[in-house]
Amino acid sequence: MPPSTIHDPAATTDNRLVVAISSRALFDLGNSHALFEREGLDAYRSFQIAHEDEILKPGVAFPLVQKLLDLNKLAGDVPPVEVILLSRNSGDTGLRIFNAIQHYGLEISRAAFTSGAPTSDYIAPFKADLFLSANAEDVGRALKAGVAAATILPSTAPPRMSEQLRIAFDGDAVIFGDEGERVSREEGLEAFHRSETEHAAEPLSVGPFRGFLTALHRLQAAFPAENSPIRTALVTARSAPAHKRVILTLRKWGVRIDEALFLGGRDKGPFLDAFGADIFFDDSPANVESARKHVATGHVPHGVSNR
């Protein structure tokens, strides 16, 4: 791995990978959020101010954010990463969150506190490539606006000890469009395989995470493939012969995926555990429930599986 140094963010602003994250995805705010739902805003505000100097524990997406920001310390011509906080807290109650950010040494300086209003309106002005939140409503709004977004769900998975950042994606309705899933649901698996074989030379349509995958690939490309601090995986229920169209599409897009797992309907959780994913993105509620027992998981509420 190259020696550590600090980048000049102004030098590579146009290539910056920007991730926007909610406070509940970054830190463990479960108790205070439960208080808010049970007793309302005034009780929540009083609690946060009273506990302002108590450091919040890391949340589900904290290890991911830490590894993303650590990429900025690596030498070489690497586009920097920026993480932005988008929170439904007020600036007043958000002070506890910034105290925790400072305590953990996270290089997060930009934020929007909306006092209960949706945060999704600020994703575009911040030019975020990815939005992670515990609020499904905000995630849905972001997806409709054309931004890769996922609902971060509670997980019992332990943090990964590896320094390498590992991100796994489902294929259909995440990286690609959901046409294949619609054929499979409406006409059956045999019709799906027949359709994919007939259209193998035609690239799959673009899914909601296509832009984020491209930005991540751009970051990966700054490192030698054999010594990269980032590793990606496609973990899909597809199997042969439906694999061919996926491979040819990624080749057409010029996007690198380090590992491709074609599971033919097998439970994804154990495979994600074996890969060591820091986070996995999937549209299927059933797959998400399985995965979050093994790794941090983001639900992408897009496509036919969520209608």
Element (H, E) at 245: helix 243-253
Q: Is 112 in a helix, a strand, or coil?
A: strand
Q: What is the dihedral of CA 300, 270, 60, 155, to 10 degrees?
A: 90
- The length of the chain, given as a count of residues: 307
Check residue 166 and report its DSSP letter: E
129 flagged as catalytic: no
Active-site choice (170, 172, 282, 283): 170
User: CA-to-CA distance for 61 and 125, rounded, in angstroms?
Assistant: 23
Residues 230 and 219 sit within 8 Å (Cβ to Cβ): yes
User: CA-to-CA distance for 272 and 294, rounded, in angstroms?
Assistant: 7
| Closest residue by Cα to residue 115 from 42, 20, 25 | 42
Residues 304 and 186 sit within 8 Å (Cβ to Cβ): no
CA atoms within 13 A on the CB side of 197: 9
Catalytic residue ranges = 170
